[in-house]
Amino acid sequence: MSTVDEPTKTISDFEATLNKADTAVATFEKDDKTLTHVLRAQLRKNPTLIPALVLLVSIIAFSIVAPRFFGMGALSTVLKQTTVTGFIALAQTLVILTAGIDLSVGAILVISSLIMGNLAVISGLPVFLAVLIGFGFGGLMGFVNGVLVAKIKLPPFIVTLGTLSIFNALKLWYSQSESIRNADIEANASGLLWFGQGFNFSGASLSYGGITLILLAAALWYVLNHTAWGRHVHAIGDDPDAAMLSGINVDRTLISVYTVAGLICGFAAWIAIGRVGSVSPIAFDTVNLGSITAVVIGGTSLFGGRGSIIGSVLGAFIVGVFNTGLSLAGVDDYWQMFAAGCLVIVAVALDQWLRRASQ
C-alpha cells in the first residue's frame, strides 16, 4: 500500500494564519454594586453600628415624647436597671458566637447568689470567701454545660434546657424556698451589697456595678478581637469542621466558652445582690429572655461567628431605654412587652438580610 506524503508545515505557515484569528480582548462585566449592597456589606462588617444608631434614635425619640427622659437622672436609672441583664448578655454573647445558646444562665446566677448569701449571712463565712465559692460554682455549672455540648455532642439548646430545669430544682432545694432579707445582709454581710453603691457624677448616679459592666465589656472585647482564643471562638461559630481542620481544639474551646460564661454569671450574682439588696430563689426569672433579646438586638447572629460584645451591652441599654421611655410616656406594661417582642423580630430579620451579603 502506498501513501502520499503530506507536505510538512513550517512555522511561517502557522504565523500566516494568525492574521485570521480574533484579536478581541476578553472582557468581564463590571459588577456595579447598588447602594443597598454597599450598605449591607458595611453593616455586616460593623455590627455595632446598628444598635448604636438605634440607641441614639431611641433616646432622641423618647426625649421628645417624654421630656423628663432626657436627663442624667433617667439615663442613670436605665444603666442601673440594665446592669444585671448586661452581665448575663455578655455571657450569652460568648455562647451564641459559637452558634450555641445557654438557657440556664439565669438559674446559674440565682444559685450562685444563694450560695453567696447563705455562706456569708447564715454560715458566717467572710464575704470574700463566700463570693469566691459562689463564683466557682457558677464556673462549675458552666463547665457541665460545656462538657455535655462538646464531649457528648448534644445540641446546646437541649443541654441548657435540661440543665435549666435541674438548676431550678437545685436552687429551690438548697434555699428551701426561703429568701434572705436585706436587713440580715446589712447586719451580717454588708460587703455583698457593695456593687449596689455608687457615686454622683455631673448629676448622674452611677453604681459600681454599672462601671464594672463597662470595664468587663471592654476586657471581653479586647480578648475576642486581639487574642487567639477570641479568633478560635469566631472560627468555631463560622464553621466548626473547618476550625478543627485548621488545628483548633474545638472541644476544649467550647468547654472554655461555657465555663467562662458560667463564671460571668457567678460574678453577676454578686452584682445582683447589690442591685436588689436581697437574695431570693425566684428572682430574675426573666433574665434568660432579656439576655437573648439584648444579644440579638445588639447585632450578634444567632447562627454564630459574627457579633459584638459592645453591641450586646448597647442592646441591653436599648431594652432599658424602651422600657423606661414607655413607662414615662404612660404606656402600659403589656405594650412594653409588645415593643420588646417587635424589636427581637426586627433584629432577627435584619440579621437574615445581612447574612445574604456574604452569599
Q: What is the pLDDT of residues 109-163, one digit of tens each?
A: 999 999 999 999 998 899 999 999 999 999 999 999 999 999 999 999 999 999 9
Q: What is the dihedral of CA 195, 200, 205, 208, to 10 degrees?
A: -20
Domain boundaries, the chain: 48-352
- Report yes or no: 121 and 344 within 8 Å, Cβ to Cβ: no
CA distance 225 to 296: 19
For CA atoms 168, 169, 173, 179, the dihedral sign is positive
Here the cell at position 201 is 457624677
Model confidence, pTM: 0.84
CA distance 117 to 189: 8
For 44-100, what is each residue's pLDDT tens digit?
666 677 788 888 888 888 788 777 766 676 777 788 888 999 999 999 999 999 999
CA distance 292 to 183: 33
CA distance 164 to 54: 32
Here the cell at position 97 is 458566637
Provide mean pLDDT across the span 21-42: 60
For 238-254, what is each residue's pLDDT tens digit?
899 999 999 999 999 99
Residue 62 CB neighbours (<10 A): 21
CA distance 251 to 273: 34
**How confident is the model at residue 100, as a pLDDT?**
93
Give the E-state strand segments of 48-127 in sequence order. none
CA distance 192 to 159: 31
DSSP H helix total and E strand total for the chain:
16, 2
Mean pLDDT of the chain: 84
Task: State the CATH class of domain 48-352.
Answer: mainly alpha
**How confident is the model at residue 224, as a pLDDT?**
93
**How confident is the model at residue 201, as a pLDDT?**
73
